[in-house]
């Protein structure tokens, strides 16, 4: 509450004690008729009494015991609430400095100023509401986005979010059936026109350049490139299957870096752009459950950080999204931690980061606090814990 800026003023009526402490039947010694007739002064009498010492015969209530006028039967403070008067010329509407009687609150006779209906409204069904086609809500200028990995999980949720914000998408992926379904889904949700797609496989670097060129030719220009594609496997599965380990290392780090390099060249050729890549909090520090998977994300994070430092002044904006545990098809069967998130929540955070050009964002933000603590834990503690 703001402090008082001026001293309180007295209400322009006789001051009396609190309403609860008023004495209903004062003692007889306090009544005027208990005093001599020569000591009585009637209410309203303006004559001065003769000089001498006289005892006060006012009751403890602080007022003469005479019937009050009907206009002043009760004290206004006891029956009306304080109301602000902001249009007052002399006194500003500040806290604890309000009028007892709100100006123009009631009419002169005390009746409400609310309008009275002259007739009863007609009965029957209400007329139909006028509706119009609603397009995508655009928060800022629409941009052209080449999206790799929009067919599942976080990628599909982020693609929907970008389409709903009015951006134009071109999908890249390896499964033509999944690409077709995702494109139709985005057309239904966004309604901004057909969504095209082309084949692009992270296991085949030869498909990177043709896919990016096709996206640029179809959209007219390439302003944003988003990469959410990747692979996940548990530590036990990777240790037991060398082939799976080789594929995960290739997809999550080597070929993702090659794809980002191809996108960087094209974005810088047009004067700059935004490159958004999904990493993970697993790469913040080496931990027992995600030794191999976390190593790929740690290397990817360092690459993106260096890319931002080297090409920021040339107009390249690198956005690194670090989600925590997300409930997707990749994490089915795993015990979710307390801060597990849904793909839609992560998608909104990532979309905001793309539009604002934030270099690093955690999704949700609580993981920034958690990983900040983990980074400072001593090595002796990290050897004992199981997270």
How much is the pLDDT for 84? 47
Place of tokens 């209530």: 61
- pLDDT for res 46: 47
Q: Three-class SS of residue 274?
A: strand
* 168 phi, psi to nearest 5 deg: -100, 130
pTM recorded for the entire structure: 0.62
- DSSP, collapsed to helix, strand or coil, labels residue 149 as coil
Q: Distance (Å, rounded) from C-alpha 206 to C-alpha 203?
A: 9
Q: What is the pLDDT of residue 50?
A: 54
**Residue 68 gets which letter from DSSP?**
P
Residues recognised as catalytic:
293
Complete domains list, the chain, with CATH: 144-382 (3.40.50.720)
Q: What is the dihedral sign for C-alpha 331, 332, 337, 340? A: positive
Q: How many CA atoms lie within 13 A of 361 on its CB side?
A: 22
For each of the chain's 387 residues, which pLDDT tens digit applies?
A: 555 555 666 556 555 555 555 545 555 444 444 555 555 555 544 455 555 555 555 555 555 445 555 555 554 444 444 444 445 455 555 555 544 444 444 445 554 455 555 565 566 666 655 554 444 444 567 899 999 999 888 899 999 999 999 999 999 999 999 999 999 999 887 766 789 999 999 999 999 999 999 999 999 999 999 999 999 888 999 999 999 999 999 999 999 999 999 999 999 999 999 999 999 988 888 888 899 999 999 999 999 999 999 999 999 999 999 988 777 666 666 666 666 778 888 999 999 999 999 999 998 888 888 888 888 888 888 888 877
**Residues contacting 165, CB < 8 A, separation 6+:** 136, 137, 138, 139, 140, 351, 355
Cα separation, 251 vs 200, whole angstroms: 13
- φ, ψ of residue 85 to 5 degrees: the values are -125, 95
Residue 101 main-chain phi, psi, to 5 deg: -110, 110
Task: Check: CB of residue 248 under 8 Å from CB of residue 282.
Answer: no
DSSP letters of 294-343? HHHHHHHHHHHHHHHHHHGGGTEEEEEEEE--B-SGGGTTSPP-TT-B-H
Q: How many helices (H) and strands (E) does the chain have?
A: 11, 7
């Amino acid at each position: 509450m703001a402090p008082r800026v001026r001293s309180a003023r007295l209400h322009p009526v006789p001051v009396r004690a609190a309403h609860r402490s008023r004495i209903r039947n004062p003692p007889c010694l306090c009544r005027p008729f208990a005093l001599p007739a020569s000591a009585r002064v009637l209410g309203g009498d303006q004559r001065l009494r003769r000089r001498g010492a006289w005892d006060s015969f006012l009751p403890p209530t602080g007022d003469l015991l005479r019937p009050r006028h009907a206009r002043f039967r009760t004290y206004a403070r006891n029956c009306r609430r304080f109301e602000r008067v902001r249009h007052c010329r002399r006194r500003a509407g500040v806290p604890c400095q309000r009028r007892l009687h709100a100006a123009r609150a009631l009419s002169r006779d005390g009746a409400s100023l609310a309008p009275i209906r002259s007739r009863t409204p007609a009965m029957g069904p209400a007329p139909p509401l006028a509706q119009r086609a609603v397009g995508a809500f655009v928060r800022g200028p629409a941009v052209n986005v080449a999206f790799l990995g929009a067919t599942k999980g976080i990628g599909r949720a982020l693609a929907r979010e970008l389409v709903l914000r009015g951006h134009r998408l071109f999908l890249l992926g390896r499964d033509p059936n999944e690409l077709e379904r995702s494109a139709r889904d985005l057309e239904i949700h966004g309604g901004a026109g057909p969504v095209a797609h082309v084949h692009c496989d992270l296991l085949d670097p030869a498909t990177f350049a043709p896919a990016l060129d096709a996206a640029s030719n179809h959209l007219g220009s390439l302003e944003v490139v988003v990469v959410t594609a990747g692979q996940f496997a548990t530590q036990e599965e990777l240790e037991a299957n060398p082939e799976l380990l080789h594929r995960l290392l290739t997809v999550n780090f080597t070929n993702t870096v090659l794809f980002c390099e191809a996108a960087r060249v094209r974005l810088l050729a047009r004067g700059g752009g935004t490159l958004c890549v999904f990493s993970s909090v697993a790469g913040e520090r080496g931990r027992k459950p995600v030794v191999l998977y976390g190593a790929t994300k740690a290397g990817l994070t360092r690459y993106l950080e260096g890319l931002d430092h080297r090409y920021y002044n040339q107009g390249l904006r690198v956005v690194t999204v670090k989600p925590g545990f997300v409930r997707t098809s990749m994490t089915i069967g795993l015990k979710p931690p307390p801060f597990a998130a849904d793909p839609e929540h992560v998608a909104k955070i990532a979309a905001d980061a793309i539009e604002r050009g934030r270099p690093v964002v955690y999704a949700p933000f609580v993981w920034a606090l958690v990983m900040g603590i983990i980074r400072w834990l001593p090595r002796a503690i990290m050897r004992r814990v199981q997270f």
